[in-house]
Amino acid sequence: MTPEDFDRLQSLLASRAGFRLTRDRMQLAEHRLGPVARREGYHNVEAMLASLWSRPVASLGWSVIEALLNGETWFRRDRAAFEVMERELLPALTAARPGGRVRIWCAGASTGQEAYSLAIAALEAGAQVEIEATDLSRQAIEKAASGLYTAFEIQRGLAARTMLRWFEQVDDQWRARPELRAAVKFRRANLLDEPVDEGRFDVVFCRHVLTDLAPERRARVLDGLERRLVDDGCLFLGRDERPEGDSVAFRPVAGRRGLYVKTSAAIRRAA
């Protein structure tokens, strides 16, 4: 891959998906694009990119973008966030919401481990939840909706008791049981796009997404999250992610790393 190709990939990823591709990932990018090139019938990555630049095709462009996304995830990642959900937020929100129903959006859900972790927490607590999980990658969403995981994936983050309670073995893989799959609705969505409906959520999980965003896109994504969150709702970011400098819409919760609530309208206007 030439430096010029990489520069154009950076621009493509930032403009279409909002994500940044740093120079130190050039070799990784070429490695990930190899299977895409072979699947699309090209001799190598350079030939595929030359075709894309000369005659842009939306489907090929998105295949390239999806191959370069960081889909790293596992069950109950950053365990403290799930403990706060289970012990504090779910009981409080259940008591405060009409009918006790809590709406959760898992944004940047990748292959579904985080969304299923939220569903397990809610089901084991007896809470009534609606969980919507979205990701830009079609392949990731298809895998998430199938509920199928390898032995390595299923053991990464789940205790044996939890694994056996909520998953069943299918040949050499493990599938989420029907009641767990029924608790989550998966769909493809781009965080840069306008929402497809006016629905709002009590809790938004958007963790380990801001880190990979191009700086000029973070404010737009945070604005979209703020508009989808109810006024007394909560936003979970990754432990080391902060919206400061990109948005005044959220303020941190003391002692709860990665947890934010919406800033009052008056403070946002003053800012």
The tokens for 96 are 């405060």
Cβ proximity of 177 and 164 under 8 Å: no
Q: In what order do the strands lie in the sheet with 148-150?
A: 148-150, 173-176, 167-170
Tell me whether residue 133 is exposed, middle or buried, using C-beta atoms within 10 angstroms of its C-beta: 0 to 12, 13 to 18, 19 or more: buried
Domain of residue 152 covers 79-270
What pLDDT, on a 0 to 100 scale, did the predictor assign at position 67?
93
Given a cut of 70, the residues of the chain with pLDDT beneath it are 264-271
Residue 56 sits in a domain whose CATH number is: 1.10.155.10
Q: Do residues 87 and 214 both lie within one domain?
A: yes
Q: Do residues 97 and 41 both lie within one domain?
A: no
CA distance 189 to 20: 18
Instruction: Report how many domains make up the chain.
Output: 2
Q: Do residues 202 and 238 both lie within one domain?
A: yes
Q: Do residues 59 and 139 both lie within one domain?
A: no
Q: Provide the greatest CA pair distance for the chain.
A: 60
Helices assigned H by DSSP within the chain: 3-17, 26-39, 45-54, 58-68, 79-84, 90-96, 113-125, 138-146, 151-155, 160-166, 178-181, 215-228, 265-270
Q: Do residues 60 and 112 both lie within one domain?
A: no
What pLDDT, on a 0 to 100 scale, did the predictor assign at position 265?
55
Q: Answer whether residue 41 is part of any domain.
A: yes
Q: What is the pLDDT of residues 195-209, one digit of tens each?
A: 777 789 999 999 999
Q: Among 203, 186, 163, which residue's Cα sits nearest to residue 74?
A: 163
Q: Do residues 22 and 87 both lie within one domain?
A: no
Q: Do residues 121 and 12 both lie within one domain?
A: no
Tell me whether residue 256 is exposed, middle or buried, using C-beta atoms within 10 angstroms of its C-beta: 0 to 12, 13 to 18, 19 or more: middle
Q: How many helices (H) and strands (E) does the chain have?
A: 13, 10
Q: Do residues 88 and 13 both lie within one domain?
A: no
What pLDDT, on a 0 to 100 scale, did the predictor assign at position 266?
39
Residue found under tokens 């012990």: 87
Residue where one domain finishes, among candidates 33, 68, 103: 68
Q: Among 66, 145, 70, which residue's Cα sits nearest to residue 113?
A: 145
Cβ proximity of 25 and 33 under 8 Å: no
Q: Do residues 12 and 140 both lie within one domain?
A: no
Q: What is the pLDDT of residues 74-119, one digit of tens each?
A: 999 999 999 999 999 999 999 998 888 999 999 999 999 999 999 9
Positive or negative, the CA dihedral 61, 67, 72, 73 is positive
Q: Answer whether residue 181 is part of any domain.
A: yes
CA distance 262 to 226: 7
Q: Do residues 37 and 124 both lie within one domain?
A: no
**Any idea what the Cα angle at residue 113 is, between residues 112 and 114, rounded to 5°?**
95
CA distance 116 to 181: 8
Give the CA count within 13 Å in the CB-facing half-sphere of 123: 18
What pLDDT, on a 0 to 100 scale, did the predictor assign at position 247?
79
Residue found under tokens 């990754």: 238
